[in-house]
Structure 1
């Protein structure tokens, strides 16, 4: 059943169809620079056809969490250059995921002590972690036209830094409740201008167009999770919004569309016919992708590649385990979000 996952994918020159999904792990230092062992972590997993990094903030304003990495400063670029060098030495390919937190930040968590911004002044009904403990999410400041233009420019500048750091490309994070997703959702975008209502897809499209113009379409992917309620987002009827978005993105010739399915809205089957390029499928948060479900996506024609998240944490050699039938290791939950090498680079490969 897993043979379809192990076949090369010629359009992107990948040795297999297994993608390591982006996963936040909080292993940067206090300045957002990846710590040295981050290079080991990604290199250990270079057997994936493609690695997509954890979310990386493209601006200080977009920094959401403590110990999350950035792509803003020369020190951060140097830190990521060590990561990409290690992955390439292991014959891997790696994209940087650019993730602007939007309303999901507090001044205590970003290096500029900046307040959150978002499409509309709607706070998330959640608590956010800070060095001093949990705090309620703040009411974000509604983004002006100038703020929107600046955020687009910041994505472009960060994408250029990603290429400078040796990444093979970037993935724009339009999923899971972050800024691009906040523009798409019903309850977080109440705007009356051209970025609201029927124009709620405009920001995501303009970010994609600008980044493509800066580094080339073959180096740009985008991740979407239609209907995902993470962090309190509401999308009562995702289909019209995401059909329009995919239709607008299709002519850009992006490297890929990375799409997470949802139990309420079968995004993969609905949007696949509208997308002629490479599609990375994921079965979603409530149904973590397995070898069997991933292979079924490919064999059913709804995905070209399949992304795996949690399985890659404790199985650095996941493609090899799929190929040989070696047992899969479990995760040590207590070290998922700690800041050192434990529970990060100490999961062994199969014997």
Structure 2
């Protein structure tokens, strides 16, 4: 009997009741000074605990890793204590939750950086992109290239964030290596023009990613670590001249690690579903999580055919806290209010009705 979107599945060391995943969604509602989440986030995530798995909004691993106003961190004791309220609330509802570890690299602005410093990147090439600052949307600031002797510090920041995630009660971690942020900037030859051991051929461009994974595996069992990639997406001005070859090499090197899952953006982030994702999926020997513009019919079809093991839903989870139940019942979905996606309070965040209340 073929699997369905509503079948249970074991991914790494985690048992999930269904294949419906809440994708990571930046909502810009953390305390901008402290990087702490609050009671509002605890309520928001607990409302969505019927998902097979929740992946939190991305959380920066260090002050240097911040790129947007109102985003949370996972690098201070206070942030850990704040996140513990979230994980406790989700677990009290029977849910499973992992945190996405984030360093934005060059997708930042001097107003968001410690002491107004330049953001860091693989190369000193400004992104043709904007970020969300205290003044609204602004062009990203020109970055400086990370020195080779700084790479161990970056790795150490990821490792400490992984330790903090464990202390905060998460069930695992997802490494954000997608959407034009730091690790994706290293992987792709558009933003990475280095001429040392972290640039040039793909094995060099992937070096930092592999060093970070080695570090994370000293803290978490591989079966509690997922990774997100976006090979064909030009989001945040991160492009590669041959994404099929680059990410085919990367996926083949990831195969032996025993990771919980590979989370792939199929095509352009929030855009066209174009790219060789089925060919890349065929190279991957583990649990495969698909993302990008999925609706119920597409999710049902691709899980039922065995092409996909899990489907991560983003925008539908903003407006439908009980999305898993709605999909199972083939019930209509609430429409999201885009004006409240980024920043604000409870409106457009924790006040969407469930089927029961509707």
Take 1:112 and 1:33, find their aligned partners in 2: how far apart are those partners?
20
Take 2:153 and 2:122, find their aligned partners in 1: how far apart are those partners?
13
Structure 1 length normalisation: TM-score?
A: 0.95
Take 2:156 and 2:352, find their aligned partners in 1: how far apart are those partners?
39
Take 2:130 and 2:326, find their aligned partners in 1: how far apart are those partners?
38
Query: Aligned-pair distance for 1:112?
Result: 4.7
Query: Aligned-pair distance for 1:145?
Result: 1.5
Query: Aligned-pair distance for 1:133?
Result: 4.0
Take 1:141 and 1:166, find their aligned partners in 2: how far apart are those partners?
35
Take 1:234 and 1:109, find their aligned partners in 2: how far apart are those partners?
25
* Aligned match for 1:235, one of 235, 240, 244: 240
Q: Across the two proteins, how many residue pairs are aligned to each other?
A: 345
**Map of 2:116 onto structure 1:** 113
Take 2:115 and 2:63, find their aligned partners in 1: how far apart are those partners?
6
Deviations 1:167-201 (A, max 9, x none): 00110001111001001112100011111111211
- Segments of 5+ residues of structure 1 without an aligned counterpart are none
Deviations 1:246-303 (A, max 9, x none): 1111111111110111144222x11222222111111x2xxx1101111222122222
Task: Give the secondary-structure state (helix, strand or coil) at the position aligned to 1:339.
Answer: coil
Task: Give the secondary-structure state (helix, strand or coil) at the position aligned to 1:10.
Answer: strand
> Contact 1:65–1:110 at 8 Å: present in 2 too?
no
> Contact 2:186–2:192 at 8 Å: present in 1 too?
yes
Closer, same or farther in 2 for the Cα pair 1:295/1:112, shift >3 Å? farther
- My pick for the range that moved more, 212-221 or 341-350, is 212-221
Task: Give the secondary-structure state (helix, strand or coil) at the position aligned to 2:99.
Answer: strand
**Map of 1:4 onto structure 2:** 4
> Contact 2:59–2:72 at 8 Å: present in 1 too?
yes
Matches within 5 A, 1:1-351: 4-11=4-11, 12-30=14-32, 31-198=34-201, 199-262=204-267, 263-267=273-277, 269-282=278-291, 284=292, 288-351=293-356
Take 2:207 and 2:248, find their aligned partners in 1: how far apart are those partners?
13
Task: Give the secondary-structure state (helix, strand or coil) at the position aligned to 2:290.
Answer: strand
Closer, same or farther in 2 for the Cα pair 1:187/1:10, shift >3 Å? closer
Structure 2 length normalisation: TM-score?
A: 0.93
